[in-house]
Structure 1
Amino acid sequence: MSAFATKGFNANRYLSLRPTYNSNLLAWLNNYHAGPKARAADIACGPGIFTTDLAREFDSVIGVDLSPSMIASAQESAHARDITNVEYKVGTGESLPIESNSVDLLTVMEGVHWFKFDTFLDEALRVLKPGGTMALVGYKYPEVVGDTTRSFVNRLAFDEQYLLKYWDDGYKLVEGGYQPLVAPVKASAFENVRYVGYPEVWKQRIPEIEVLPEAWIDQRQSTLEELAGYFKTWSGYKAWMDDPPGRARCSSTSTLNSTWNQLNKTLTDTVAIDYPQFAIVARKPL
């Protein structure tokens, strides 16, 4: 997470390359929440990808992020779209700049794996109204449909000679579909805990996951250039870029070039990208 808060981070480029959520997600959350929609909070909101979606459903929304450049990009985006019921604040998941018992829905989209989780759960319970909903949503690294590129993605991300040492521990939670976070949520004061995911393949690894009927992130058509750009939005890549001695010792540069050239020989100019999704949702007791 700290990689996104460093000087020189380009939040607008991050916004243009990251996946977006479709209407199935909001419909599912509305059905689960089934409560008041006075105020929502989007934590680790980044450049406001989902925050502005919430603004269509709730009277007011607050977005919180550690990165000032993310907050500036989110504010710029909201202003450009004439969205006036969203407020953005710099803050952390462990110390939310939000009043107690003031939020009907609290979301964390692809960000809770950066938090000290027990502290965050206490904060979520504090700011949620009785009966309020918490939704922790994530997505795994992209998979190119019908190709072996997944092996390239995994090697780039998790091989010791590439980016492995530049990831915070949170990446393990993403790879595991947030499964280790389910037990702490169930052990907390939250109730009606549901653990869901898409597609069906999650069941092969995590039997207790509930498979969603529809995807929350649409399959994306991407050029190879855009796909390479997406890889460069990874926090591990950003941390590597901020470590010149590491770059001198690491062959990631050649991987991003020579391996990419090999990939170009096996793929067309445009590829279909899937993002396996997962979420933990729970309710604060009345």
Structure 2
Amino acid sequence: MATLDRFSSQADLYARYRIDYPTELYQWLLPQVPGRARAWDCATGNGQVAAVLAEHFAQVEATDISTAQLSKAPQRSNIRYQTARAEHTPFAADSFDLITVAQAVHWFDMDAFNAEVRRVLRPGGVLAEWGYNLLTISPEIDPLVRHFHDDTMRPYWDDNRWHIMDEYARLPFPFVGAQTARFAVRRQWSAEWLLNYLRTWSSVANFQKQHQQDPVLQLAGELTQLWGPGEREVVFPVFARAGQVE
């Protein structure tokens, strides 16, 4: 299976405009993890999750296929960043108490990744995968964003994207004691901030590569008018699952 890198070209935007994850998610996850020695944040991107894990684990390994993304990650004395595929890592067997994958597992070769998880997790160790679905704002703005996502950008989404829309229901999770949870990320954003967030989408990057144009401009005028002055609350629904290796 070919490795897909859909985020290097917009690494600067990604680092600034992508959301981080709520405290409640970590409060749900961490009590499930039996040890605090080592964690691996797989597909770390710009290191958002790795930085949080570094507050709870003695050592954090953080990997990504994008060196551009890794260059934006926060430096901590107990985080080591390196370029590696999710399915093939340099780690020794039985290395980790926790593996996390945030908004990325839908890009993986799942059989190969799950085999690697079983190899590098310690007995009783936890794999946690989560993502977030399409944001909501208001009854008048949501249909505009949904049309842009579902229709305008549809030819430019990789098929992998639709695993997010059904919350990983079709992606295997062959681990014991599986638990699921839902959370909400709430942010106060301006219209400009939202438009720049849309520019982090892989479909937008694909469109720009093909047409050398910014497709976000197609909805910028109407969205800005509907938005009005100031900020609005933007809500991202977060879904998560976690399980253990025996």
TM-score (norm: length of structure 1): 0.80
Measure the CA separation in 2 of the matches of 1:114 and 1:277. Answer: 18
Tell me the equivalent position of 1:175: 165
The answer to whether the 8 A contact 2:141-2:226 is kept is no
- Counterpart amino acid of residue 52 in structure 1: A
- 1:194 pairs with 2:184: no
How far the C-alpha of 1:258 sits from its partner, in A, is 5.0
2:224 maps to which residue? 264
Structure 2, unaligned stretches of length 5 or more?
A: none
The AA in structure 2 aligned to 1:223 is S
Q: CA RMSD in A?
A: 1.6
Instruction: Work out whether residues 114 and 170 of structure 1, in 8 Å CA contact, stay in contact via their aligned partners in 2.
Output: yes
For 1:143 and 1:237, locate their aligned partners in 2 and report how far apart those are by CA, in whole Å. 19
Is residue 2:124 matched to residue 1:131?
yes
Q: 1:267 and 1:224 mapped to 2: Cα distance?
A: 6
AA aligned opposite 1:257: L
Distance 1:258 1:94 in 2: 38
Alpha-carbon separation, structure 1, partners of 2:116 and 2:37 = 19
Matched residue type, 1:117: M
Aligned pairs for 1:202-213 within 5 A: none
Give the number of aligned pairs.
242
Partner of 2:14, secondary structure, is helix
Show CA shifts across 1:33-69 (max 9, x none).
2x11100000110000111000000000011101011
The Cα of 1:10 is off from its aligned counterpart by: 3.8
The alignment partner of 1:141 has SS state of: coil
Task: Tell me what 1:108 maps to.
Answer: 101
2:245 corresponding residue in structure 1:
284
Q: Residue type matched to 1:264 in 2?
A: T
Instruction: Give TM-score scaled by structure 2 length.
Output: 0.93
Give the match for residue 60 of structure 1: 59
Residues 222-251 of structure 1: CA deviation (Å, up to 9, x unaligned): 010000000000011111111138x5xxxx
Per-residue Cα deviation, 1:59-106 (whole angstroms, up to 9, x for no partner): 0001110101111211xx21xxxx200001111111123221101000
Matched, 1:220 2:181: no
Q: Which deviates more from structure 2 when the two are superposed, residues 271-280 or residues 162-171?
A: 162-171
- Residue-by-residue CA offset, 1:1-37 (whole Å, 9 max, x unaligned): 42224xxx2423211101111221221111222x111
In the alignment, which residue of structure 2 is the partner of 1:150?
Answer: 142
Which whole-Å deviations, capped at 9, do the CAs of 1:208-229 have from their partners, x for residues lacking one?
xxxxxxx4x3x10001000000
Q: Which residue of 2 aligns with 1:2?
A: 5
Partners of 1:137 and 1:54 lie apart in 2 by 15
Q: State the partner residue of 2:153.
A: 163
- Provide the C-alpha distance between the structure 1 equivalents of 2:145 and 2:43, rounded to a whole number of angstroms: 24
Provide runs of 4+ in structure 1 moved above 6 Å: none
Give the CA deviation at 1:273: 0.4
Compute the displacement of 1:264 (Å). Answer: 2.3
Q: 1:280 is matched by which residue type in structure 2?
A: R
Q: Which runs of 5+ in 1 are unaligned?
A: 199-214
* Aligned-pair CA distance for 1:259: 2.9
Q: 2: distance between equivalents of 1:173 and 1:196?
A: 17
Kept in 2, the 8 Å contact 1:12–1:47? The answer is no
SS of residue paired to 2:6: helix
What percentage of residue pairs aligned between the two structures are identical? 29
